[in-house]
Amino acid sequence: MKKTATKKKILSVAVFCSGQGTNLQAILDACRRGKISARVVVVIVDNASALAISRAQKAGVPVVFVDPAQCPSRAQYGKVLAAATARFKPDLIALAGFMRILSPSFVRRYKGKIINIHPALLPAFPGAHAVRDALAAGVKTTGVTVHFVDEQVDHGPVIAQRPIPVKRSDTEETLLRRLHRAEHQLYPEVIQQIARTGSNKRVRSK
Ligand code: GRF
């Protein structure tokens, strides 16, 4: 019987960022090293001075700045964002420090295709101060979560979590450093799982 060659699918990923872009960098590095069957097709930012822009440019990835100042409402911003995203036909949208709440219609349009990374073990400590909040609560363990995005903030089916012990001596800075290291491993792993299986099964925590 004649063998038919199966072409390896490369997942097209749009990454949305607002700031440093260290998670973007981890994804770009994993793609470049062939560790994940994915390609970043566009980086979309809502902040013209995001460091993520130069990281994308260095990797030769197109950057689109969707300016919130041009959009009077979240719904309007969502429309412009959707149009910008659609041009690149991504299989997956990875939010990586994108500090903006997506409009319900954007989330519906890309339902099941948007993932987010958060520096806590959701549902604990949602919001912009997850690390500070975990320290203030005195928890012994926090961690990172990758989840599918639904219409609520830092909410939706969990894909993977990685726990990180909190040390008595931890400050926001030292804890954040360890959480970031975990994020930079976990996010590419989840993207690879989605590339491989196309599924939202849990990624086993190490
Ligand atoms: C990460 O800690 C992520 O969990 C949160 O925003 C931060 C983004 O960091 N959603 P960076 O821009 O990837 O460095």
**Is residue 118 annotated as part of the catalytic site, yes or no?**
yes
- Take atom 6 of ligand 1 and give the residue whose Cα is closest: 97
The whole-angstrom separation of Cα 17 and Cα 144 is 17
- Looking from the CA of residue 17, the nearest atom of ligand 1 is 12
- Does 118 sit in the ligand 1 pocket, CB within 6 Å? yes
Q: Per-residue confidence of the chain (206 residues) as pLDDT tens digits?
A: 555 555 678 999 999 999 999 999 999 999 999 999 999 999 999 999 999 999 999 999 999 999 999 999 999 999 999 999 999 999 999 999 999 999 999 999 999 999 999 999 999 999 999 999 999 999 999 999 999 999 999 999 999 999 999 999 999 999 999 999 999 999 999 999 999 997 545 444 44
| pLDDT for 5 | 56
Which residue, judged by its Cα, is nearest atom 4 of ligand 1? 118
CA 71 / ligand 1 centre spacing (Å): 24
How many angstroms does the Cα of residue 23 sit away from the middle of ligand 1? 6
21 lines ligand 1 (CB under 6 A): yes
Dihedrals phi, psi of 92, to nearest 5 degrees: -145, 145
pLDDT at 7: 64
Confirm or reject: Cβ of 143 under 6 Å from ligand 1.
Answer: no
Query: Quick one: which atom of ligand 1 is closest to the CA of 179?
Result: 2
| Superfamily name and number for 11-197 | Formyl transferase, N-terminal domain (3.40.50.170)
Identify the pLDDT of residue 6.
59
User: Ligand 1: does its nearest atom lie under 6 Å from the Cβ of 37?
Assistant: no
Q: pLDDT value at position 206?
A: 43
Burial (CB count <10 Å: 0-12, 13-18, 19+), residue 49: exposed
Kind and range of the H or E run holding 93:
strand 92-95
C-alpha 82 to ligand 1 mean position (Å): 22
**pTM to 2 decimal places:** 0.93
Cα distances (angstroms) measured from residue 53 to each of 6, 149, 154: 35, 23, 24
Nearest partner of 115 among 190, 10, 34, judged by Cα: 190
Supply the pLDDT for residue 32: 97
Q: What is the Cα–Cα distance from 185 to 183, expressed in whole angstroms?
A: 5
